Amino acid sequence: MSLRIGLISDTHGLVRPEALAALAGCDWLLHAGDIGRLDVLQALSAVAPVHAVRGNVDTGEGLAHLPERLDLELGGLRVHLVHRPQDIDEQSATRAALVVCGHTHRPLVDEIHGTLRVNPGSAGPRRFSLPVGVGIVEVRARAPQPRLLTLAVPPARPRRRRGA
């Protein structure tokens, strides 16, 4: 059995059509926090069922109740989902085959002590020169294979200086 898990983080209230297109066909979506607005989760749930954790900006209506961490089993794959990397529960991470986090806006795939750790980066407003992206994890025979996808989005408009 194969499973396709979409990873998204740091949307900060922005639902990009490019992100929805990239995540189409996923069996599950995991949002690693800094959602920004409840309608982001509603838009994502039109693509696939969503599990989400609360990020440091998720204090508004409908988001403040979200957990800081989630331990899930999706198709036999154990997953630990958290917003900030420093909040990863190492005991839960040791039992998981996949740890997903966000917060830094920097996409990253790493393996620590045999556990795959993925940060899909930010799918929200562009920050500094970091890419805008999402992640996909293909799971076959309980072995997760991650891919980071950089979304083709228009460049950010330059900010106008006051008095200019």
Joined tokens for residue 136: 């996909």
For residue 49, give the 3-state DSSP assignment.
Answer: coil
pLDDT digits (tens, 9 = 90+) for 96-153: 999 999 999 999 999 988 899 999 999 999 887 889 999 999 998 878 999 999 997 6
With contact defined as beta carbons under 8 Å apart, do 98 and 78 qualify? yes
Torsion of CA 115, 111, 24, 83, to 10 degrees: 80
Q: Give the right CATH number for 2-150 from 3.60.21.10, 3.40.50.10490, 3.20.20.70, 3.10.105.10.
A: 3.60.21.10
**Which pLDDT score is estimated for 136?**
98
- The whole-number pLDDT of residue 126 equals 87
What pLDDT does residue 27 have?
98
Distance, in Å, from the CA atom of 87 to the CA atom of 98, rounded to the nearest integer, reads: 15
List the single range of 23-27, 84-88, 153-157 with lowest mean pLDDT.
153-157
**pLDDT confidence tier of residue 162, bands split at 50, 70 and 90:** low
State the pLDDT at residue 64: 93
Mean pLDDT value across the chain: 93
Kindly state the percentage of the chain with pLDDT values over 90: 80
Q: Which pLDDT score, from 0 to 100, does residue 159 have?
A: 63
Looking at residue 154, what is its pLDDT?
64
Domain ranges (residues) in the chain: 2-150
List, for residues 31-49, the tens digit of each pLDDT value.
999 999 999 999 999 999 9
Cα–Cα distance measured from residue 33 to residue 50, given in angstroms and rounded to the nearest whole number:
12
Q: Of 29, 34, 99, give the one whose Cα is nearest residue 71.
A: 99
pLDDT of residue 160: 66
Strands 69-74 and 50-52: unpaired
In our burial notation (b when 16+ CB lie closer than 10 A, e otherwise), range 80-105 reads bbbbbbeebeeebbeebbbbbbbbbb
The single-letter code of the amino acid at 57 is V
Residue that is written with structure tokens 């997903």 in the block: 100
For position 60, what pLDDT does the model report? 85
pTM exceeds 0.85, yes or no: yes
